[in-house]
């Protein structure tokens, strides 16, 4: 089943039901139609639908489709919006103005609204994610109550935690004449601190919600294990760049890291699979650390967080080292 078809079938089954359906009941109904979806896949789609207001959770009973969901189903807008995340990535890539040579200009950021007390309680673990290299660079920013980022305002009792988005790397490469194809975002398994394989991933062309946001909210990450033992599951993105740009990309990766912005985890050899992920002929695979990664610490400890992936552009000069987080929270 194609991704677009999967989404439409789930909404169709919910619209036909006279009562809420659980993930397992949806699986059975889809199976009767000749489809084959895992319970985890159904759960991820439903979580995304909940965020977009297309479905509504009714506790243990399951989900129901909303009026908005029925409108989407009737008009087919869901299909036309699939892939909108890729369009957003492209727009933000072209919109950022960061100059790597001068270290000035705007970069792409993600923002999470975190309860202030919970942040203070977990700030050491958040900093450890950065220290061990599982975060996107080393620079962050904090927004206070009432401050705005894009169209969103930091609510009372919360802090806006801004981290560098991995799309910033796309922009830096583009300004060096290297086009980047964003393929997917997924969960990367670590053993003794080394990346071994992607255990889950979602194509950017198949979603209008940041995949890592869904994985974190589903508590499918394991940063606590990663920072304690080196064995865990973290978020990462997969890109492709032209093979002719390999040497230049390696050079830029070091410079971006020195600027506190980057986390090119691996740049693969031309036309070779990377962690068993096929790479198009004439391209190099690139694995980049997920920008929302530090926020997963809160979800793993039961702290609800509101996410705004690719929330906007921020001047490089406004960012500060993660080592100052504890002091600034006070």
Residue spans per domain, the chain: 3-81, 88-329
Structure-token match 């990462």, residue found: 236
* C-alpha distances out from residue 271 to 246, 284, 294, Å: 11, 6, 32
pLDDT at 290: 93
Neighbours of 74 (CB within 10 A): 9
pLDDT in tens, 137-194: 999 999 999 998 877 889 999 999 999 999 999 999 999 999 999 999 999 999 999 9
Who contacts 162 (Cβ-Cβ below 8 Å, separation ≥6)?
109, 110, 111, 140, 141, 142, 143, 149, 311, 314, 319
pLDDT of 38 higher than 80: no
Helix axes 167-175 and 246-258, enclosed angle (nearest 10): 120
Superfamily of domain 88-329: mj0159-like (3.30.70.1360)
Question: How far apart (Å, rounded) are the C-alpha atoms in residues 21 and 56?
Answer: 11
Q: Are 215 and 200 in contact (CB under 8 A)?
A: yes
Whether 313 and 96 have beta carbons less than 8 Å apart is answered as yes
Q: 55: which strand partners?
A: 65
Supply the DSSP symbol for 248: H
Equal fold, 3-81 vs 88-329: no
Q: Tell me the pLDDT of the chain averaged across its residues.
A: 89
What tens digit of pLDDT does each residue of 281-313 get?
999 999 999 999 999 999 999 998 988 888 889
Q: Which CATH number fits domain 3-81: 1.10.287.3510, 3.90.79.10, 3.40.50.1970, 1.10.10.10?
A: 1.10.10.10
Q: Give mean pLDDT, residues 79-97.
A: 76
The helix/strand count (H/E) of the chain reads as 13, 14
Tokens 């975060």 found at: 135
Query: Rounded mean pLDDT of 67-94?
Result: 73
Beta strands in the chain (DSSP E): 55-57, 63-65, 106-115, 139-143, 148-149, 152-153, 158-164, 181-191, 194-203, 232-242, 264-267, 283-289, 306-315, 320-321
In this predicted model, what pLDDT tens digit does every residue of 207-265 receive, in sequence order?
A: 777 889 889 988 899 999 999 999 999 999 999 999 999 999 999 999 999 999 977 89
Q: What is the pTM of this model?
A: 0.74
For residue 1, is pLDDT > 50?
no
Percent of the chain at pLDDT above 90?
64
Compute the distance between CA of residue 323 and CA of residue 320 in angstroms, rounded to an integer.
8
Cβ pair 106, 184 in contact under 8 A: no
Q: Give the containing element (helix H, strand E) for 171.
A: helix 167-175
Give the Cα separation of 220 and 49 in Å (integer).
18
């Amino acid at each position: 089943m194609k991704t677009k078809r999967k989404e439409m079938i789930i909404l169709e089954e919910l619209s036909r039901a006279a009562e809420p359906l659980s993930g397992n009941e949806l699986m059975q109904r889809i199976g009767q139609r000749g489809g084959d979806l895992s319970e985890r896949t159904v759960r991820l789609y439903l979580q995304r639908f909940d965020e977009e207001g297309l479905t509504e959770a009714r506790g243990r009973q399951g989900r129901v489709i909303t009026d908005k969901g029925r409108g989407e189903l009737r008009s087919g807008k869901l299909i036309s919006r699939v892939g909108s995340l890729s369009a957003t990535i492209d727009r933000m890539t072209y919109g950022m103005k960061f100059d790597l040579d001068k270290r000035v200009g705007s970069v792409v950021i993600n923002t999470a609204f975190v309860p202030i007390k919970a942040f203070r309680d977990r700030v050491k673990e958040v900093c450890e994610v950065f220290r061990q290299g599982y975060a996107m660079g080393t620079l962050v920013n904090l927004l206070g109550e009432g401050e705005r980022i894009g169209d969103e305002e930091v609510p009372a009792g919360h802090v806006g935690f801004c981290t560098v988005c991995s799309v910033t790397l796309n922009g830096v490469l583009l300004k060096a004449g290297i086009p980047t194809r964003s393929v997917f975002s997924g969960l990367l398994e670590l053993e003794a601190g080394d990346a071994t394989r992607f255990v889950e991933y979602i194509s950017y062309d198949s979603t209008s919600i940041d995949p890592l946001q869904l994985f974190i909210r589903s508590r499918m990450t394991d940063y606590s294990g990663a920072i304690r033992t080196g064995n865990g599951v973290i978020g990462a993105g997969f890109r492709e760049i032209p093979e002719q740009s390999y040497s230049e990309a390696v050079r830029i990766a070091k410079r971006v890291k020195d600027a506190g912005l980057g986390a090119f985890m691996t740049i693969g050899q031309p036309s070779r699979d990377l962690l068993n992920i096929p790479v198009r002929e004439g391209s190099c695979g690139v694995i980049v650390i997920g920008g929302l990664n530090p926020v997963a610490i809160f979800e793993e400890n039961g702290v609800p967080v509101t996410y705004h992936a690719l929330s906007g552009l921020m001047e490089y000069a406004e960012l500060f080292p993660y080592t100052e987080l504890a002091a600034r929270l006070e």
